Amino acid sequence: MDHLTKTENSVKWQSPSNIAIVKYWGKKGIQIPMNPSISFSLSNAVTETEIVYTPKQNTEEVSLDFYFNGTRNHAFEDRFLKYLTQIKSEFKLLTQFHLSINSKNTFPHSAGIASSASSMSSMVLCLLSIEHKEKQLSKDAFLKKASYLSRLASGSACRSVYPGFSLWGKTSVLHSSSDEYAVPLSEIHPVFNDLQDSILIVNSKQKKISSSAGHLLMELHPFKEARIEQANQHATQLIKALKLGDFASFIRLCETEALSLHAMMMTSNPSYVLMEANSLKIIEKIRQFRNDSGFDLCFTLDAGPNIHLLYPKLIKEEIIKFIKAELLVYCESDNWIVDEMGNGPKKLDKQFYER
């Protein structure tokens, strides 16, 4: 095969965003989490990344240009350049080729949904495909390496390389777990296999404090040890609930985690608040509707004001009615996004052999 023909000089992957149930909050060393986290990959909120690579003079410098939705983006370019320079010993190709990276999100950029997990993991998957196109790396080894390298770019990105639920961070209840990469959670009861995520956009503006700044504030947080202990217990309990199909425990853990995350922000020094009045209104409505209807639904939040409403597909129709009747009034311009658990990343180009 001639690898230098025009069509074979590019590779393209799609990778999803994910929503954490047990939250990663606080890190140590080089992107090592203070506590284990568990999330599931989404289906619609994905980034598509294509890397076109052309041979260049073999210098030590990484060289790239980065386009977001077809337009050159210098802010992203600087972030990618910094990351790729950091990991250049992992990839020979980084010194052999000039990279033109083209990325686009299928979800609105302004929706206030974190995109670093999907964008970083899709970029890493492209690089690994180029580097390993002739090596017979097993699918498991390929994904483990993708998870490891994604973690170095953005912690939550390491959980995006798997379908369904995954766990990142060492925990005594799962032997294969690691601080260095995420692992898929395979023993999942069917009641959790088709989880829906309706994302209620309370405010789409970029958050005031980045997650990276929030992680840093955990280092000297007065509740640091208690939070690490709590997250470890929650991870253990969630793994069990997912295995048994225990939706009541899932709801309790999911909501406690979301509120603990925000409590950490409110009690850090300096303290800050990312929830808004309408986030609290929605939370109140969700709890009331759950009490009145007996349906299995619950909320979680990322590091922002938007509410992820989670529920099984079986009750989708009723929940959508509830959203339209009672929640949209608290959303910015009636804005909400329909998503659900997804099947993980997908290779979009067909030039190379399929794994």
Residue ranges binding ligand DP6 (CB under 6 A)? 20, 23-24, 37, 114, 116, 154-156, 211-212, 215, 261, 302-303
CB of 304 to ligand DP6, least distance (A): 8
Query: What's the closest the beta carbon of residue 93 comes to ligand DP6, in angstroms?
Result: 24
Please provide residue 51's backbone torsions phi and psi, each rounded to the nearest 5 degrees: -115, 120
- The CA distance from 119 to 347, in Å, is 14
CB of 315 to ligand DP6, least distance (A): 25
Cis-peptide, bond into residue 270, ω within 30° of zero: yes
Task: Give the nearer residue to ligand DP6 in terms of CB position, either 51 or 113.
Answer: 113
Smallest gap from Cβ 153 to ligand DP6, in A, equals 7
Own/partner contacts of 151-154, CB < 8 Å, gap of 24 or more, are: 151/31, 151/180, 151/181, 151/182, 152/30, 152/31, 152/83, 152/86, 152/87, 153/83, 153/116, 153/120, 153/123, 153/124, 154/116, 154/117, 154/120
Q: At 52, which amino acid appears?
A: V
Task: Please name which of 110, 119, 121, 116 lies closest in space to residue 148, comparing C-alpha atoms.
Answer: 121
Cβ contact 190:164 at 8 Å: no
CB of 227 to ligand DP6, least distance (A): 13
- Please identify, using beta-carbon distances, which residue of 154 and 204 lies nearer to ligand DP6: 154
Q: Nearer to ligand DP6 by C-beta: 130 or 201?
A: 201
**Comparison of 261 and 323: residue with beta carbon closer to ligand DP6:** 261
Query: Residue 209 or 348: which CB sits closer to ligand DP6?
Result: 209
**Pick 24 or 53: Cβ nearer ligand DP6:** 24
Q: Residue 244 Cβ, how far from ligand DP6 at the closest point, in Å?
A: 23
Q: Residues 327, 290: contact at Cβ < 8 Å?
A: no
